[in-house]
Amino acid sequence: QVQLVESGGGLVQAGGSLRLSCAASGRTFSSYVMGWFRQAPGKERDFVAAIGWTTGVTRYADSVKGRFTISRDSAKNTVYPQMNSLKPEDTAIYYCAGRRAFIAFSWKEYDYWGQGTQVTVSS
């Protein structure tokens, strides 16, 4: 019932910036969380950031604190991770995910997923 569509990925030089977006539709519950995860080839899917849809509360992985900022536009049902000072280790497929109620940090706790968008950071 919930559909998520990511966009904004691409190739960027180290130190550069990208702004991703995730548009959500079909949401019916009042308490909702939008999370972002990333997965590099052969690696686990790791938490990046999350935001409470109604509260605006945000959480960030230690690896991206001070560099990434997540925000939402309720009118557009869209969440935007602003990614600054990108590093080669940020290279991964970035996924938008959704769940009810509380912010969670494991990908296994999210119920709805987008198709992912590739972010590649060159040296």
φ, ψ of residue 55 in degrees (nearest 5): -90, -30
Identify the pLDDT of residue 32.
86
First to last CA, the chain: 40
Predicted confidence (pLDDT) per residue in 53-89, tens digit: 888 999 999 999 999 999 999 888 899 999 999 999 9
Q: How far apart are CA 24 and CA 31, in angstroms?
A: 14
Mean pLDDT for 88-98 is 97
Contact 115, 5 (CB under 8 A): yes
Q: Where residue 119 falls among pLDDT bands split at 50, 70, 90? A: very high
Q: Mean pLDDT check: name the lowest of 24-28, 44-48, 55-59.
A: 24-28
Mean pLDDT for 92-108 is 93
Mean pLDDT for 38-56 is 94
Identify the pLDDT of residue 30.
65
Give helix then strand counts, H and E, for the chain: 0, 12
